[in-house]
Amino acid sequence: METITNISNGDLTDKGLVKMVDNPWNDKDGNPVDRIVSTTGGTFRETELTIIEKATKTIKPIKEPIDFNTVMSVDIRPGRVTLAKRVEKTDKLIHLNVKTSLGSKSVVTNLGEEFEPEAFVGKTFMFVVNMPPMKMRGILSEAMIMANEITVFDPKENKWNTATKLMEVNLSLDSTIL
């Protein structure tokens, strides 16, 4: 492996993932000789580290553009989940009862592989509430919960992993997104 210089935050080294870079060490004449680097595996001189090529992060392509009127037609409101249960004979589907400013809504979400039903109960999330109702496994779904996909680097496997994150909000139920 090659000894590196000019290491930066987020670089993966044989000593771990770099969290920060400190001021350089100086020789007797005051010239910079080496930098102290803090990694997940400890603190080292920069010349003591060797670089491991970090896997390239792939970004999903952007969805097709939509016009302003389409964006403005989406009704997004907070809703508090009052009941959540797994849909029988499925691993992915969870049935939610949601209280919104428009009344109670039945919502079926496919987040069951990532979350247990208990992760939803008593919490407030954002929902698209003006979708056409549809049945999923015989259960009426009248809205869609909004969640976020995040990407996290795993230095042990040297790869980027995606995960779904629930976006809990602290808003009153009579709020709307403008």
For 134-173, what is each residue's pLDDT tens digit?
999 999 999 999 998 887 777 777 777 888 889 899 989 9
Q: How far lies 136's CA from each of 2, 31, 78, in Å? A: 55, 69, 22
Give the model's pLDDT for residue 109: 97
Question: What backbone torsions phi and psi does residue 85 show, to the nearest 5 degrees?
Answer: -150, 150
Domain containing residue 97: CATH number:
2.40.50.140
Q: Is there a single domain that holds both residue 130 and residue 157? A: yes
Share of the chain above pLDDT 90, in %: 47
pLDDT level of residue 21 (50, 70, 90 thresholds) = very low
Q: Is there a single domain that holds both residue 18 and residue 50? A: yes
CB neighbours of 22 closer than 8 A, spacing ≥ 6? 35, 36, 37, 38
Region for 158 from its dihedrals, namely left if φ exceeds 0, alpha if ψ lies in -120 to 50, beta otherwise: left
Q: Is there a single domain that holds both residue 48 and residue 88? A: no
The sheet with strand 144-145 has its strands ordered as 103-109, 94-100, 76-86, 124-128, 144-145
Q: pTM of the predicted model, to two decimals?
A: 0.65
If one counts the domains in the chain, the total is 2
Give the model's pLDDT for residue 161: 80
In a domain, 63, yes or no: no
In a domain, 173, yes or no: no
Q: Is there a single domain that holds both residue 72 and residue 126? A: yes
Of 80 and 43, more confident: 80
Q: Is there a single domain that holds both residue 73 and residue 115? A: yes
In a domain, 36, yes or no: yes
Q: Give the integer Cα–Cα distance in Å for 158 and 68.
A: 40
Q: Is there a single domain that holds both residue 77 and residue 162? A: yes
Q: How far lies 167's CA from each of 80, 86, 120, 171, in Å? A: 12, 20, 10, 12
Give the model's pLDDT for residue 19: 55
Q: Is there a single domain that holds both residue 46 and residue 95? A: no
In a domain, 171, yes or no: no
Q: Is there a single domain that holds both residue 148 and residue 96? A: yes
Region for 113 from its dihedrals, namely left if φ exceeds 0, alpha if ψ lies in -120 to 50, beta otherwise: alpha
Q: Is there a single domain that holds both residue 96 and residue 38? A: no
Lowest mean pLDDT among 36-45, 98-107, 130-139: 36-45
Q: Which domain holds residue 38?
A: 1-54
Q: Is there a single domain that holds both residue 132 and residue 157? A: yes
Q: Give the integer Cα–Cα distance in Å for 148 and 41.
A: 30
In a domain, 5, yes or no: yes
Q: Is there a single domain that holds both residue 49 and residue 102? A: no
- Segment 41-68, tens digit of pLDDT: 777 766 666 655 555 556 666 778 889 9
